[in-house]
Chain A
Amino acid sequence: MNNPPHFKGFRPIGLSEEHNPVVINFEEYEAIRLSDFELNGHVEAALIMGVSRPTYTRIYESARRKVAQAFVLGKTIVFEGGKVYFDSEWYSCINCGCWFNHPEKELEIKNCTLCGSADIEQYHQGPQSGSADDICICPTCGFEKVHLPTAPCKSEICPKCNCQMIRKGTPHLHGAGNKNCN
């Protein structure tokens, strides 16, 4: 997600203040931008966002439904949150509900910077699929390449010996299914 919207939403003309707006997540906004504005195919768009193709289609579908709902029912659209990854350490305070970051990495954080409560927790990023650890490896010659979330390792062919590749670190029979590949 590299282009967050620079405004916070849309409001229909001629209607009074709407109290239950349609909330569009940043990833849904990004899906519409990639597919309908930059006219990427779902496979390319999924690659750009770093998710699998089915996941991308799901995000995109949900985004379109929300837009249609807002459009037909005259609802306000608000851009908000979603699964956004932070680039530095963030903490949240349970007592006052604030979020704060930690520019001085050397000092340990024990209390909320705003209210002083010790009831804080660090924001932990969940495990991501398609991370840099995913590598396709050729079981025959050991050639490695970075796994693409859109293509299973089995569909990759080793450029050196034309063998079917597998995911690195998975147990496998040496050269299984690769009888004629050398």
Chain B
Amino acid sequence: MKVAITSTGNNLDSSLDSRFGRCSYFVIYDTISHSTEFIPNPNNENIEGAGSASVQIIASRGAEKVVSGEFGTKVKSLFDSLKIQLVVLKDPEKKISEIIKLLNHKN
């Protein structure tokens, strides 16, 4: 299963980006092959519609879960209709590598 994580930078030592639509990078982590892919977010300077555009990126990569600091109301309903699970982490200091470690704990 693929999991999308919002990141402030393009390596595993970067921390979680607490914004969803205007985060700097998306990390697509594959829980089966343990591969990671960093995608720069083209929408992080958008004044409007950054959230919905970011949903499209994540959906097109086939992620089933999204980890971020918070989600806007529009994004929430979009993800609901796509059956993508939202995970809210209120800890902006968490590193991407730590989140991946947490994900690997899963059963």
Q: Which residues does A use to contact B, with CB under 8 Å?
A: 4, 87-88, 96-104, 111, 113-117
Contacts and interface: CB of A to CB of B under 8 A. Distances in A.
B83 A103 contact: yes
Interface of B: 65, 67, 73, 76, 79-80, 83-91, 99, 102-103, 105-107
Contacts of A117: 105
18 contacts: A97-B89, A97-B90, A98-B87, A98-B89, A99-B90, A100-B85, A100-B86, A100-B87, A103-B84, A111-B106, A113-B65, A113-B85, A113-B106, A114-B67, A114-B102, A114-B103, A115-B102, A117-B105
Contacts of A96: 89, 102
Given A100-B85, A103-B83, A103-B84, A116 B107 contact: yes
Given A98-B87, A114-B99, A116-B106, 5 more contacts: A96-B89, A98-B88, A99-B88, A114-B67, A114-B89
Nearest to A115: B102
Contacts of B67: 98, 114
Interface of B is mostly: mixed
At the interface, is chain A mostly helix, strand, loop or mixed? Answer: loop
Nearest to A87: B76
A113 B65 CA distance: 9
A99 B87 contact: yes
A171 B90 CA distance: 47
